[in-house]
Amino acid sequence: MHHIYETLVNAVRAEYLSGEQDYPWIIGFSGGKDSTLVAQLVFAALMDISPSRLNRKVHLIANDTLVESPLVVSHLMQSLQEIETGALIHDLPLKVATTTPELAHTFWHLLIGKGYPSPNQQMRWCTDRLKIQPTSRYIREQVTANGAAIILLGVRRNESEVRRRRIDSYQNDADSSLSPHNSLVGAYIYRPIVDLTTDEVWELLSSFPPAWGGDNSRLVKLYRDAAGGECPIVLSQEDAPGCGTNSSRFGCWTCTVVEKDRSLQGFVDSGNVQYAPLIDFRDWLKEIRNDQTLRQSRRRSGKITVANGRLVPGPFTVAARQMILERLQATEKAYGARLISDAEIEAIHRAWAEDLIQQNQREYISE
Ligand code: SF4
């Protein structure tokens, strides 16, 4: 294991020092095992470079959907804090940042303010707005400021492919270490742990504590209690096959795309009953989605949609949206912590007022 770790740190170190331009590195950090290992390798590599050669800026960015599973968010925030402090102590050019969706695109604003029906497989309106756009915006800003940026991801090939490649005599330089990003012009992807197996990732994390301090026991416990899985940083719809499926157990706590929130349920089952109100709310939200009495016949644009001779229901009615907000606020009380911000509530009230004014105008015109 020692040999693998050293080889990986050396490869990251060499990559950092390569290239004529010091385009910034951006580490997509989810707090899960893969991106933690990447962050750890980068940190160790930076510590191994003399200060005069630390000319490339490294950004470690985490995205907070504002409806993150509470299990993940506390681990994530603690990790960010530890990394930031470590970078400060060792005087490394590493900046920690959190991205969030715009107020107009938060889960609550779209669901309760605009009445979007809770997301499902056919209408997954959330991934782009909650995850892809905030991260992409940060990357684009860096590309604009520096001419290009390199994104470090903890993605890995699937296990059988790793084995096959190793049998085919593994050669790292068969691929260039950077590949252009599909949709973000000027952004390149670097995947430092692409050829590791899941077992190797765990072995490395448990054998080598992060250079910023502490160890990875909180991470190990999180996975154990939440029954594994993770929701990696998401940069495009193709990157997100696991987002909102049962293989992603660390998604939003509100996710109605999955049948059951297995990670939170796992926590409740292991005695953390404080999360039970969140599960109840999510289950209820999923249940009411297709209740026609809670949906408008018209879309917000005023149009009526008919498919296969049947009316396609529009958004939740304003009365239903009010009911959802009330239930969410009751859930907050039962849970004992905020689940929606004051800014979101204000934006929701404005969206209701706009919709009611438009509905009244339509009725007035048709009379
Ligand atoms: S975890 Fe679920 S709710 Fe969150 S962005 Fe993914 S699909 Fe949407």
Ligand 1 atom nearest the C-alpha of 127 is 5
- Whether residues 216 and 277 share a domain: the answer is no
CB count, 10 Å around CB of 252?
A: 26
How far is Cα 118 from Cα 130, in angstroms, rounded to an integer?
Answer: 14
Collapsing DSSP states into helix, strand and coil, what is residue 191?
coil
Q: Whose CA is nearest to atom 5 of ligand 1?
A: 127
How far is Cα 315 from Cα 321, in angstroms, rounded to an integer?
Answer: 9
Q: What are the backbone dihedrals phi and psi of residue 66, each rounded to the nearest 5 degrees, phi first?
A: 75, -5
* pLDDT value, residue 164: 64
More confident residue, 307 or 364: 307
- Which residue of 69, 73, 127 sits with most ligand 1 atoms within 8 Å of its CB, as the best mutation to test the pocket? 127
- Whether residues 290 and 250 share a domain: the answer is no
> What's the gap in Å between 142 CA and the centre of ligand 1?
26
- Whether residues 314 and 281 share a domain: the answer is yes
Residue 105: CB within 6 Å of ligand 1? no
- Whether residues 56 and 180 share a domain: the answer is yes
Q: Where in the chain does DSSP place strands (E)?
A: 25-28, 58-63, 94-99, 149-152, 178-180, 187-190, 305-307, 310-312
Domain count, the chain: 2
Residue 263: CB within 6 Å of ligand 1? no
Q: Whose CA is nearest to atom 3 of ligand 1?
A: 255
Is residue 174 very low, low, confident or very high in pLDDT (cuts 50, 70, 90)? very low
Above 90 in pLDDT, residue 97? yes
- Whether residues 249 and 301 share a domain: the answer is no
- Whether residues 331 and 277 share a domain: the answer is yes
138 close to 97: Cβ distance less than 8 angstroms: yes
**pTM listed for this prediction:** 0.86
Average pLDDT, the chain: 87
More confident residue, 112 or 206: 112
Residue 101: CB within 6 Å of ligand 1? no
* pLDDT value, residue 264: 79
Above 70 in pLDDT, residue 176? no
CB count, 10 Å around CB of 25?
A: 23
Range with the poorest average pLDDT among 156-160, 199-203, 277-281: 156-160
Residue 257: CB within 6 Å of ligand 1? yes
- Whether residues 180 and 314 share a domain: the answer is no
* pLDDT value, residue 345: 98
**CATH label of the domain that carries residue 107:** 3.40.50.620
Question: Which residue, of 256, 291, 310, is where some domain finishes?
Answer: 256
Question: Which residue, of 256, 283, 307, is where some domain finishes?
Answer: 256
The parent domain of residue 11 ranges over 2-256
Is residue 239 very low, low, confident or very high in pLDDT (cuts 50, 70, 90)? low
Range with the poorest average pLDDT among 13-22, 204-213, 259-268: 259-268
Residue 334 gets the label, from left (phi > 0), alpha (psi -120 to 50) or beta, of: alpha
Q: Whose CA is nearest to atom 1 of ligand 1?
A: 251
Question: What digits encode the pLDDT tens for the residues 313-349?
Answer: 899 999 999 999 999 999 999 999 999 999 999 999 9
How far is Cα 120 from Cα 131, in angstroms, rounded to an integer?
Answer: 16
- Whether residues 284 and 185 share a domain: the answer is no
> What's the gap in Å between 51 CA and the centre of ligand 1?
41
Is residue 228 very low, low, confident or very high in pLDDT (cuts 50, 70, 90)? very low
Residue 243: CB within 6 Å of ligand 1? yes
- Whether residues 110 and 214 share a domain: the answer is yes
Does a structural domain hold residue 267?
no
Q: What is the DSSP letter of 52?
A: G
Residue 130: CB within 6 Å of ligand 1? yes
Range with the poorest average pLDDT among 31-45, 175-189, 200-214, 311-325: 175-189
Question: Which residue, of 223, 256, 289, is where some domain finishes?
Answer: 256
Ligand 1 atom nearest the C-alpha of 240 is 6
- Whether residues 16 and 70 share a domain: the answer is yes
- Whether residues 109 and 227 share a domain: the answer is yes
Is residue 249 very low, low, confident or very high in pLDDT (cuts 50, 70, 90)? low
> What's the gap in Å between 210 CA and the centre of ligand 1?
30
Does a structural domain hold residue 264?
no
Helix (H) or strand (E) holding 353: helix 342-366
- Whether residues 76 and 127 share a domain: the answer is yes
